[in-house]
Chains A and B, each alone.
Chain A
């Protein structure tokens, strides 16, 4: 077995003890990208010279010498991000030292390449990008999830053991779910974000996608910089379960696997399931969509929109122009709804430790036609996924997606949300869930890379 297939923490530990040569590990990583990326299209740029320079200059940090990937959403000193698009309206993207770059560098990590993403971060599927779609290693004809499609496909495909993504409306958790990984959406504002092309964002946050929660803890700790995500033992959990529609409107295999996992977790750590209702549930999705879109709305001028690159997908051309004409009163109402929803969520967390429901209501759909069939009928995967994912972004709370099974051969996942600042506890709960299921699902590998 190649050292590349070891967990991130094991790679770091062996390098620190002198048992693993980080230069050889980087060479193996670059060779594997060359070997497997033609099928996965998970990596859109490598730069061996800069990667080797990072390694030569790497400090004695917790990730010293470990190769990782970063989503195409932040600049590097030698490469401007593209956000998976031919252009970003009203934005001139330039190389630079972004927050995630500095955090990785200061932790000693080596950025081996830039990972693909859905064009402009606008979808949970990952089926559209300037570079072409990334492919799900579990089935190359299926969506890897988005918008952090490349990080998901790359880690599941064994190119690296960890990658940095961004989650604005679920964009770390969806690819983690589709690709059988663990993904953490941190509490808003807790992880490095400097240099992002939407500096005023109130929804987007950087976070890790790894094979399990312990690796997520290590990579997230680097991104959190000053804040340590210490491991602990999770005690009896009060698990809030909002049934309708988060559990009921899922395909049967997803619902059953998530129920089984939740029961295993409760059986392992103790506690109780508490039936809850989310505050203003029907307003969560529209409020989140409106607030997220408003972050870039100031740039959606006629001059910018009438000169969109013809290389931009027709979906995004239409969506950008639609955003430009949405009534401001709706966005103002979204802000008021967020206020009430945040207060309601805070009250909920007086009574429960975590909220739990399936990360996505169905496994990864085909790249060619990302629609899914739910009990409520056929629906675009984007609309259904957003329903499951956006509460964390709207309110600011952290969320983690944990693999809990397969349905039709494709990974499925349980999502846990915690109160603001409970990121470490969520990872403790994710690790408890892994133990409760005997790590069966975090150890699964796609046949193509097993």
Chain B
């Protein structure tokens, strides 16, 4: 990931906001892991989910009510 990418800018500010300390190696891990899953996260961010009716009383041991 290029230095100064949107993720790295976000990461710097988020770590500062939450008061989380991270050394250079940990930051490299974060960037590496994010880059691995970033395409999927972007698809999730952009997916049209507005019309999804929430599943009330979620029970993952059963099929959802239909």
Q: Which residues of B contact A342 (CB under 8 A)?
A: 55, 63-64
Residues of A within 8 A of B (CB): 187-190, 202, 280, 282-283, 285-287, 289-290, 302, 305-306, 314-315, 317-319, 321-322, 324-325, 330, 333-334, 336-337, 339-340, 342-343, 346-347, 349, 380, 383, 395-396, 419-421
The count of chain B contact residues (Cβ–Cβ below 8 Å) is: 38
> How far apart are A424's CB and chain B's nearest CB, in angstroms?
15
Task: List which B22-66 residues lie within 8 A (CB) of chain A.
Answer: 22, 25-30, 33-34, 36-37, 40-41, 43-45, 47, 49, 52-55, 58-64, 66
Residues of B within 8 A of A (CB): 10-11, 14-15, 18-22, 25-30, 33-34, 36-37, 40-41, 43-45, 47, 49, 52-55, 58-64, 66
CA distance A39 to B27 in the complex (A): 34
Q: Which residues of A contact B37 (CB under 8 A)?
A: 285-286, 289, 383
Q: In the bound complex, do residue A318 and residue B53 qualify as a contact, i.e. CB atoms below 8 Å apart?
A: no
Q: In the bound complex, do residue A283 and residue B43 qualify as a contact, i.e. CB atoms below 8 Å apart?
A: yes
CA distance A324 to B33 in the complex (A): 14
Residue pairs across A and B with CB atoms within 8 Å: the count is 116
Given contacts A202-B58, A314-B29, A383-B36, 11 further A-B contacts (CB under 8 A): A189-B59, A283-B43, A283-B47, A286-B37, A318-B26, A330-B45, A333-B47, A337-B52, A343-B64, A420-B62, A421-B62
Q: In the bound complex, do residue A318 and residue B30 qualify as a contact, i.e. CB atoms below 8 Å apart?
A: yes
Q: In the bound complex, do residue B60 and residue A396 qualify as a contact, i.e. CB atoms below 8 Å apart?
A: yes
Q: In the bound complex, do residue A189 and residue B60 qualify as a contact, i.e. CB atoms below 8 Å apart?
A: yes
From A330, A383, A420, B44 is in contact (CB under 8 Å) with: A330
Q: Which residues of B contact A347 (CB under 8 A)?
A: 66
Q: In the bound complex, do residue A321 and residue B47 qualify as a contact, i.e. CB atoms below 8 Å apart?
A: no
From A290, A317, A340, A421, B26 is in contact (CB under 8 Å) with: A317
Could you list 18 examples of A-B contacts with CB < 8 Å? A188-B61, A280-B47, A282-B43, A283-B40, A286-B37, A289-B37, A305-B20, A314-B25, A317-B26, A324-B18, A325-B11, A337-B52, A339-B55, A343-B66, A383-B37, A419-B63, A420-B62, A420-B63
